[in-house]
Structure 1
């Protein structure tokens, strides 16, 4: 039923239906920051009590008529929203957040949750935006976290601090949030940290997708920490999680040293 509801809301059968779905999101999500006490935005993050303060977003006024991206097609294999031209330019990334709103980030989260089969969570996210007229706090926090995760290895600590600040603010992460954090840490070759939060996903009752698991174990191979990777796999199995071999094979196009090493680590092949 949830899947059918998603398709009825967002199936790209006509330009009118797509425009309506986009308006439902943009009309409530692109409002100026802090319009509601229940709405967070990148400007509300205070890093003053951290030992190492990351660069703060530059002050800017919200755009009155932000240019919206093309209509969202949930069944397209392309990314739901285009990434910024330079993800390492945090000033540009935060400027886009503050002037264009968080609609794009909400769409990416909706798309990610839906593709992982978490349609109930995706619909709940959509309902908050559509019916309550507020951007969910989890979207704002995850947007900042994702900005740091995409900015490169030098900002992995900022991504973790953002996640901890999110928890201390009483905002619960969802599977998309956790996947962004784990993959960002893995891309920065922070194997131990990626493994830690992969296990936390399981503790929170979330099932990591193949992409998130592969990113973590490939990082262990790159850093020559195969034994640590095997230990992580055993801990995941003890928590009831078993990787599907066929899913892993179809989830990567790599057929070189890393692929063989990952397959050997995970399945003894």
Structure 2
């Protein structure tokens, strides 16, 4: 994603509207950006998901992510990261695991920070045994962290 120019400004506007509780305004901007097609759709959808999570509109964020998939816009690794971290904040553990597995199935790996947040939330909510089972199921899908905390695939 470009560091300067239109993309960061639009994302910041979406984010700001959501944080200020102006969900309708954010949805209008989201719709306008989709119509104009000046920004890649995956960026627009991901920005909307992130904005809704930041404004604690969790169900709206999840709905937008699923709409992206329904509209055949393929989420990238960053899209999944935004989704998973938002779900972790909401402590929707079953959705977190489902989305993590979906991310791996799509050929993406969570970054080290996302993996740590995922396991930490799971540990705090479910206990050590369930957190270890989660890590084991991720390893069965050829995912692990190296000794420096960097994500890597095993296969």
Taking structure 2 as the reference length, what is the TM-score of the superposition?
0.75
User: Structure 2: any 5+ residue segments left out of the alignment?
Assistant: 151-155
Counting only pairs closer than 5 Å after superposition, residues 67-146 of structure 1 correspond to structure 2 as: 88-91=19-22, 94-95=25-26, 98=29, 134-146=38-50
Q: 1:157 to 1:199 in 2, by over 3 A?
A: same
**Higher helix content, 1 or 2:** 2
RMSD: 3.5
Instruction: Give the structure 2 partner of residue 242 of structure 1.
Output: 144
Q: Output one character per residue of 1:131-166: Cα deviation in whole Å (capped at 9) or x when no partner.
A: xx83111111112111122122xx322222111111
Instruction: Give the structure 2 partner of residue 199 of structure 1.
Output: 101
Q: 1:95 to 1:145 in 2, by over 3 A?
A: closer
Instruction: Give the structure 1 partner of residue 80 of structure 2.
Output: 178
Q: 1:241 to 1:173 in 2, by over 3 A?
A: same
Q: Output one character per residue of 1:38-73: Cα deviation in whole Å (capped at 9) or x when no partner.
A: xxxxxxxxxxxxxxxxxxxxxxxxxxxxxx69xxxx
- CA distance in 2 between counterparts of 1:139 and 1:175 reads 11
Q: Does structure 2 retain, via aligned residues, the 8 Å contact 1:93–1:147?
A: no
Q: 1:94 to 1:198 in 2, by over 3 A?
A: farther
- CA distance in 2 between counterparts of 1:85 and 1:158 reads 16
Taking structure 1 as the reference length, what is the TM-score of the superposition?
0.46
**Does 2:111 align with 1:209?**
yes
Instruction: Report the CA distance between 1:98 and its aligned residue.
Output: 2.6
Q: Does structure 2 retain, via aligned residues, the 8 Å contact 1:186–1:219?
A: yes
Instruction: Report the CA distance between 1:84 and its aligned residue.
Output: 5.4
In terms of Rg, which structure is larger? Answer: 1
Matched length? 146
Q: Output one character per residue of 1:61-91: Cα deviation in whole Å (capped at 9) or x when no partner.
A: xxxxxxx69xxxxxxxxxxx69956854330
User: Structure 1: any 5+ residue segments left out of the alignment?
Assistant: 1-5, 11-20, 31-67, 70-80, 103-132, 249-269
Q: 1:97 to 1:214 in 2, by over 3 A?
A: farther
